[in-house]
Structure 1
């Protein structure tokens, strides 16, 4: 049977592709410490479950394709609190931030069109771009420079006649980098001056570990036609399984085109939207506690990494990921070996190998992404296992 070239050009997620090896390792009785997937262990606010349990209708009906009014209003009020004024018609409920991005790319890309993305980037960006007929055009960065890309000349050098959009994540996944207000304004200027969409994945907005404020691209009134915001409850409220996000833009024509896709997939989950609306009732104390906990975890990871010879890593400023250059030739092979051949007192560790976080062939082979989403004692043990694994991996060749 023949498959499309679009799907053939996609890869399995480096975050999930080692699952079969993990199953085999667990069948042998090994405990795996998961640093590979951004699944928070922070408790989901009780408001989500209460809203669903209090659902009284005798029929679980389709929700409106744009989203239920309660959810759209909760999102609108959240942005009002950030000083960003939206109309309910500027927001479309989606099945997670992932679907929001898929819909945008389907609306703006023709075959061969390019999306500029600073690398390393979330690998599903490549999958979604490919399936929409487009191509990721990477903006190169390096671990040695701390994955810096906030330079106008560097970005404009990559723009071609096929460029349709710039896609950024702020704070960054997988790097944890954040853009300064000045750099954010500069990227908005580039998008405006070159008539490009700027797609801003801002789902980690609450996770910043310095005094620097994250400036949303939605704050700039002169680029409202260019800006698309990808949002989600998954990380903000530790509610990944609910799969509720939002596509946000004040470009009325784009929203109108996107609504065609929303109507084609009928609706996002009625119950999960009700739960998501209730989540926005969580107060500042919830976010403060989350931030404090992840700050501790980040510091633990960095302290442990500094003890491993040959590691290159800049301390991340936001989100709950970091990209690490290891003293190994092939992080993919190293990860497989950790699951098939390595254990310490019955324990081993998983991470996400870095090569597929890049668009430039051959880059990232020695890098990994760590998601520091484990509780403190587990994170300590996981980092010890990484250090022991590197030692044992090199010793086997001697």
Structure 2
């Protein structure tokens, strides 16, 4: 069977596993604000799904995204999710021979999109105490070449949870501007950060901000996101989009309602996921060799290093699967550093996290005894 078939069958099994606890995809499983549910129900009752949405998105939603980011004066193009936005950006602005620079680890799919149009990909390692689990601007400067066309920055970083400081963003922006390159600022996890600085406030002309509703609002299955950029950049993107008939009006109604009610609903979600981080931190400190290198995380997830405990990440993932708990092995994010860690999502009900930590000592011991290779995606 072809690899994509195997991969799809794996995720199909997950989706069709009753009562699976999703602690591996960074999705938000908090109960939605009633207004979001009402917006979706109204869309179905009114049978709005018979019509196409505006090609760039509902005006209310476009304005709401700009208000949420505080980037008035820029333009918004609503998309079928943040990943679709990244695909669109890479296929619009990259050509064969261009250079695409990102970190290791990073979100993998934009690298595949860059390679698919003939660009070369360069990764700057940031995993480890020697790097502070973050991108030092001087290391980015050293990696830039005359062929650099695009720098891709996931901030906060997925899977590490580190976020750039204002000083780091200022330095990164200067480096990218001096190179005449585009800066993709993937802010998928921005809403969970303690502090976050938008590069677009300093480099509006060529910063492309990627926005997601999958994580903070929990609409992952509805596939709704956006690109925010200078009007000239959005004009180029809007001239040949992968979907010129508008993203799902059902998803857009839900997203718009989410923005309207965010101040009422999201603070409790944020507090809960930070409490969940603390639960895992406390539990991990009781197990010799287990380590949480980034705490607190600026994302809705944490990294647990298992290497010091003599445990394979894949083995630990497989042990949790027996209990219908999904966590993510490091190799999903990085082949270079993937043997060191697992990632656990925490924007989930606290009882899910409590079950995870209650099982942790036992499953660490069981995973330590597994020597066979475990095939995972």
Q: Scaled by the length of structure 1, what TM-score is found?
A: 0.82
**Match of 2:338, SS?**
coil
Query: Which of 208, 233, 243 is residue 193 of structure 2 equivalent to?
Result: 208
**Structure showing the higher helix proportion among its residues:** 2
Show CA shifts across 1:15-63 (max 9, x none): x885477589x69xxx754322122111222222323333447772112
Note the 1:79-98 alignment, pairs <5 A.
Answer: 79=69, 82=70, 84-87=71-74, 90-98=75-83
Aligned to 2:200: 218
Confirm or deny: 8 A CA contact 1:60 1:270 kept in the other structure.
Answer: no
Q: 2:57 aligns with which of 67, 70, 75?
A: 67
1:355 aligns with 2:331: yes
Could you tell me how far apart the structure 1 residues matched to 2:247 and 2:118 are? 24
What is the aligned partner in structure 2 of residue 372 from structure 1?
346
TM-score of the pair, normalised by structure 2? 0.86
Partners of 1:102 and 1:132 within 8 A in 2? no
Distance 1:134 1:303 in 2: 44
> What are the ranges of 5 or more consecutive residues in structure 2 without an aligned counterpart?
372-377
Unaligned runs of 5+ in 1: none
What is the DSSP-based 3-state SS (H/G/I as helix, E as strand, rest coil) of the residue aligned with 2:190?
coil
1:269-280 to structure 2, matched below 5 A, reads: 269-280=248-259
Cα separation, 1, equivalents of 2:183 and 2:9: 30
SS in 2 for 1:324: strand
Describe the superposition over 1:278-328 as per-residue Cα deviations: whole angstroms up to 9, x where unpaired: 221114232221111111011111111222221232213311112222134
Candidates 300, 308, 322, aligned match of 1:320: 300
Distance 2:350 2:367 in 1: 26
Query: RMSD across aligned C-alpha pairs, in angstroms?
Result: 3.0
Q: Point out which structure has higher relative CO (alpha carbons under 8 A, 6+ apart).
A: 1
Q: Secondary structure at the match of 1:175?
A: coil
1:334 Cα deviation from its structure 2 partner: 4.7
Say how many residue pairs are matched. Answer: 366
Structure 1: how far apart are the matches of 2:350 and 2:184?
A: 34
Q: What is the aligned partner in structure 1 of residue 363 from structure 2?
A: 389
**Per-residue deviation, 1:170:** 1.8
Residue correspondence of structure 1 range 161-176 to structure 2 within 5 A: 161-176=146-161
Equivalent residue runs for 1:177-326 within 5 Å: 177-209=162-194, 213-220=195-202, 223-250=203-230, 252=232, 254-262=233-241, 264-314=243-293, 315-326=295-306
> Using the alignment, how far apart are the partners of 2:64 and 2:114 within structure 1?
29
